[in-house]
Chain A
Amino acid sequence: METIRKWVQVIFTLLSNGSWNFLVTGAPLYQGPLKVLCAPGLNCYSCPAATTSCALGSLQQLLGSLRFSLDSGQYYFGLYVVGGMGVLGAMFGRLICGWLCPFGLFQELLHKIPSRKFGVPRGLRYLKYGFLAFFVILLPLLVVDEFGAGSPWFCKYICPAGTLEAGIPLLLLQPGLRQSVGLLFLNKLFIMLAFIVWSIYASRPFCRTSCPLGAFYALFKNARLVKLRLDASRCTNCKACHPVCPMGVKFNESPDDGECITCLACMNQACKFGAISLEVGGVPVGGGVVAPAPAAAGRE
């Protein structure tokens, strides 16, 4: 199953970044109709190869230009973007992070580099909700320039995916842009490098601490169609599910944890008692290896 997940991640990364015309035509970006769709995962729409738009970027742009649109009699509140993200969230929740996000795949590949591995402090998980509330919603909406325009704060000051997929490639492809590089870019470059190094030593640090898209999908932890379920009568509390989780979820203690990306590692690689199963809309559709019932397996 892990191999299938990796392939799905690779396919979605290629689908989200499948326009390579820029190598032939020199056009800076794909400008076709697919860009009206928001990618489910974190993928910068200013990447030369990007075929879809970024939900977070689009939302910040819409909120930042809300005053203009209202003045011109248009009501662009971001409902198309939030509605689309919400539909995906209600169906899959953070499964999207585990299966469809290009930046998630990037971090997983970095984590395969041999090194000593560390955890991520649990308290840092709440930081991403702050980024969602302030950098994606409130600051673009409320902090405006003299013309009434807000900035995409998360893209501008934080997003390492934007630096990696758009900033660096565009500076390489368009030398004319290099003279505009300043402190802002260096700040973003530093943040990107910090997350790259951190990803080598810890599993998915950006997803766990800073991703506003992950924070949004995590809000659906109790209201999503596809999720893992714990059968308490089969669970022996052996804690085998703890070390295999790339997000640091203790599944036997909190099966509805907002951090769960439904990668199925706990179900397929850890639980030998069939206590973890996959359900869709409340109906079980698959489970891990079902060993003998706990009583027969020697549970006290």
Chain B
Amino acid sequence: MSRKPPRQRPARKPLLVLLVFLLLWLIGIAGGEPQRVLEQAIRICFSCIGIG
């Protein structure tokens, strides 16, 4: 007698975690953080070079 293979269920945990971080990301965008990131990234980070 052949048995039906069990149906694959999509994993919920990664989706929930994804949604939580997506929410954080959107809150960050709404708070204007991307502009601050851009301001920092277009200047030389002297600390990263090791002379700051």
Residues of A within 8 A of B (CB): 28-31, 33, 35-36, 38, 44-46, 52-54, 57-58, 61-62, 69, 74-87, 89-91, 151-152, 155-156, 159, 162-163, 166-167, 170-171, 177, 180-182, 184-185, 187-189, 220, 222-225, 281-284
Contacts and interface: CB of A to CB of B under 8 A. Distances in A.
A170 B49 contact: yes
Nearest to B27: A79
Given A83-B21, A156-B50, A46 B33 contact: no
B50 A162 contact: yes
A74 B31 contact: yes
Residue in A30, A45, A79, A283 whose Cβ sees the most chain B Cβ within 10 Å: A79
B51 A185 contact: yes
Given A46-B44, A80-B34, A189-B50, A281 B14 contact: yes
Contacts of B26: 83
B11 A182 contact: no
Contacts of B46: 180
Contacts of B37: 35-36, 38, 53, 58, 62, 80-81
A81 B49 contact: no
B27 to A, nearest CB: 5
B36 interface: yes
B38 interface: yes
Nearest to A171: B49
Given A76-B31, A83-B27, 6 more contacts: A46-B49, A79-B24, A83-B28, A86-B17, A181-B51, A281-B11
A79 B49 contact: no
Contacts of A151: 47
A232 to B, nearest CB: 15
A46 B22 contact: no
B30 to A, nearest CB: 9
B49 A80 contact: no
16 contacts: A38-B37, A61-B45, A77-B31, A78-B28, A80-B33, A86-B20, A87-B25, A151-B47, A155-B45, A156-B47, A167-B48, A181-B51, A185-B50, A188-B50, A223-B13, A225-B14
Contacts of B32: 74, 76
Nearest to A165: B48
Nearest to A155: B48
A276 B21 CA distance: 29
Contact of A162 (B28, B38, B43, B49): B49
A80 B25 CA distance: 4
Residue in A38, A80, A86, A182 whose Cβ sees the most chain B Cβ within 10 Å: A80
A220 B40 contact: no
Given A36-B37, A69-B36, A225-B14, A83 B49 contact: no
Nearest to A182: B51
Given A46-B49, A53-B40, A57-B48, A89 B33 contact: no
Given A167-B49, A184-B51, A83 B24 contact: yes
A282 B27 CA distance: 29
A85 B25 CA distance: 9
A61 to B, nearest CB: 5
A3 to B, nearest CB: 28
A84 B46 CA distance: 25
